[in-house]
A and B are shown apart, each in its own frame.
Chain A
């Protein structure tokens, strides 16, 4: 499903973010990516949706050979991967419903399909009653639900989340995690970079720890393992 083969990333300013990372994630897995700030977590995540290109190595995500992808294929690839961000990245001038619909509109889906899918997905994340509200009138937790709804609406096989609970209080963090677990139960792969120790320790899932640009630990039913 997701495979990184000996991947390295050096930024143009000389910073080595990753060196020789190899990892394989199967369809339907739920994986936490942990590690101190600046260890390479974010780079690891960004490589998977082609926000960054690797300096060396191969990356495969859901049938796409990411580092070989042509410029024109990038949008197509992104429609098959749902990405969730720490800062939600919602379009502030569009309503909740329009934000979610946008991800379908780019695929040129019919209006009827869009209407139906958006309604379904907003019910799934529990925001059906706020469809016409603007993002800034929502709480952080609700905004992140919109972000997740948008990531899910194209029925991707993979959800990639970069610190999705980073800006949320514990209660909201838990409900976001519950949402991810429900999505994962339906067979969607979830890769989630996080700093949230309680979540990791309480849920006992696969944990990949990255330090100094290398994978230092990869265990099933793992712990967060840091004191921060």
Chain B
């Protein structure tokens, strides 16, 4: 196909958008509404994921050093801990330091422990690079010589992961279902617009237009519908989310993602979805009338 012809088909496709004004409007609206809902649920699920990983990242392992462990071997123990696979950070808290923290915590009631000397052990605080691997890492830490006891919120961690798993899976199912629904909605809208143009396609074939010549403008139209249909919700969500983040104050771990982190990724996905819906919808529908 010659360049000049492609230019012509592009121009024709753009003109068709206006010639079939109401149909284009309906198709753009269908794309925009679907993508708006999709974008909303994406923002929501991204933030839910963000919050649950916030919570997860606060998981830590407290490894208590045995009281009879010689102090001069502590550096070697620390090196071993750091060498364990899947460790993100290791922090040493000496028994003196732990005592100080304990006293600060108790404040006026310091008297309770004043006669006891210092019963607290030296302690390492570890974090796993993958929070979900915390129990596994804790087991390895417990196996090291010199570690007397390990704590990582055993009873609580299972429930936490169960909850965050459910939240994540629901969000994903929701998004996928929406996407499928949107594709049907749009392909139907475009099918209707093309159905009204069956006569047009028939005439073009009679005059000697090749299939790709007929398809060209429809392809361009689908692209434009998809683009415009994605830009509208992207802009709305961008402004809306920025406003929300600027006007709502939350406390950790319940924080919102920064607008620019979310929106760039989201707009890209919306744009791709819009293009896919528009192009796929129009080409699939036009194919029905080209075959005969």
Chain A interface (Cβ < 8 Å from any Cβ of B): 49, 51, 72, 74-79, 83, 89-91, 93, 102-103, 105-108, 110-111, 150, 154
Nearest 6 pairs of A and B residues by beta carbon: A78-B208, A79-B208, A106-B209, A75-B208, A75-B210, A93-B19
B170 within 8 A of A: no
Question: Given A77, A79, A108, which contacts B5 in the complex, CB threshold below 8 Å?
Answer: A108
A49 to B213 alpha-carbon distance, docked (Å): 19
Task: Mark interface residues in B181-221 (1 if CB within 8 Å of A CB, else 0).
Answer: 00000000000000000001011111111110100000000
Determine whether the beta carbon of A75 is less than 8 Å from that of B205.
yes
CB of B1 within 8 Å of the partner chain: yes
Let me know if B206 and A107 touch, CB within 8 A.
no
Min CB–CB distance A83 → chain B (angstroms): 6
Beyond A89-B203, A90-B203, A93-B19, whether A108 also contacts B2 by CB under 8 A is yes
Contact of B207 among A72, A76, A103, A111 (CB under 8 A): A103
Supposing A108-B2, A111-B4 touch, asked if A78 and B19 sit within 8 A by C-beta, the answer is no
On whether the beta carbons of B209 and A110 are closer than 8 Å, the reply is no
Shortest Cβ distance from B15 into A: residue: A93
B149 interfacial by beta-carbon distance below 8 Å: no
A102 contacts which of B2, B204, B211 (Cβ < 8 Å)?
B204
Q: Is the CB of B213 within 8 A of A106?
A: yes
* Known A75-B208, A78-B207, A150-B207; further 14 A-B contacts with Cβ < 8 A: A49-B206, A72-B210, A75-B205, A78-B206, A79-B208, A89-B203, A89-B206, A102-B204, A102-B207, A106-B204, A106-B208, A107-B208, A108-B5, A154-B208
- Of all chain B residues, the one with the shortest Cβ separation from A110 is B4
Residues of A with C-beta under 8 A to B205 = 74-75, 78
Say how far B205's CB is from chain A's closest CB, in angstroms: 7
| Least distance between B286 CB and chain A CB atoms (Å) | 16
Across-interface contacts of B208 in A (CB, < 8 A):
75-79, 103, 106-107, 154
Query: A91 with B4: in contact, given A103-B207, A103-B208, A106-B209 (CB under 8 Å)?
Result: no
Residues in A whose Cβ lies below 8 Å from that of B100: none
| Interface size range of chain B in the complex | 10 to 19
Taking the closest CB of chain B, its distance from the CB of A148, in whole angstroms, is 13
Question: Known contacts being A76-B208, A79-B208, is A108 close to B1, with CB within 8 Å?
Answer: yes
Least CB distance from B5 to A in Å reads: 5
CB of B8 within 8 Å of the partner chain: yes
Q: Closest chain B residue to A93 by CB distance?
A: B19
A-B contact pairs, 5 of them (CB 8 A): A75-B211, A78-B205, A102-B204, A105-B5, A106-B204
Query: How far is it, in angstroms, between the C-alpha of A125 and the C-alpha of B8 when the chains are bound?
Result: 26
CA distance A83 to B19 in the complex (A): 27
Q: How far is the CB of B212 from chain A (nearest CB, A)?
A: 10
Residues of B within 8 A of A83 (CB): 206
**Cα separation A110 to B5 with both chains bound (whole Å):** 9
Chain B residues positioned under 8 Å from A78 (CB to CB) = 205-208
Closest to B203 in A: A89
Chain B 8-34 near chain A by CB (<8 Å), digits 1 or 0: 100000000001000000000000000
- Contact residues in B for A106 (Cβ distance below 8 Å): 204, 207-210, 213
* CB 8 Å contact bits of B201-244 with A (1 = contact, 0 = none): 01111111111010000000000000000000000000000000
| Chain A minimum-CB-distance residue to B209 | A106
In the complex, residue of chain B having the shortest beta-carbon distance to the beta carbon of A80: B208
Q: Smallest CB–CB gap between A116 and chain B, Å?
A: 16
| Complex contact B203–A105 (CB within 8 A) | no
CB distance from A81 to the nearest CB of B (A): 9
Q: How far is the CA of A74 from the CA of B214 in the complex (A)?
A: 14
Collect the chain B residues with CB atoms within 8 Å of residue A74's CB: 205
Residues of chain A lying within 8 A (CB to CB) of residue B206 = 49, 51, 78, 83, 89
Residue of B nearest to A72 (CB): B210
Bound form: Cα–Cα A107–B4 in Å: 12
A217–chain B nearest beta-carbon distance, Å: 30
Assuming the contacts A79-B208, A103-B208, A108-B2, asked whether A91 and B203 have C-beta atoms less than 8 A apart, the reply is yes
Interface flags for B271-290 (1: CB within 8 Å of A; 0: not) read: 00000000000000000000
A162 CB to nearest B CB, Å: 11
Residue ID in chain B nearest A49 by CB atoms: B206
Closest-CB distance, A135 to chain B (whole angstroms)? 11
- Note all chain B residues with C-beta closer than 8 A to A79: 208
A50 to chain B, nearest CB (A): 10
Contact A108 B203 (CB under 8 A): no
Say yes or no: A75 contacts B5, CB within 8 Å: no
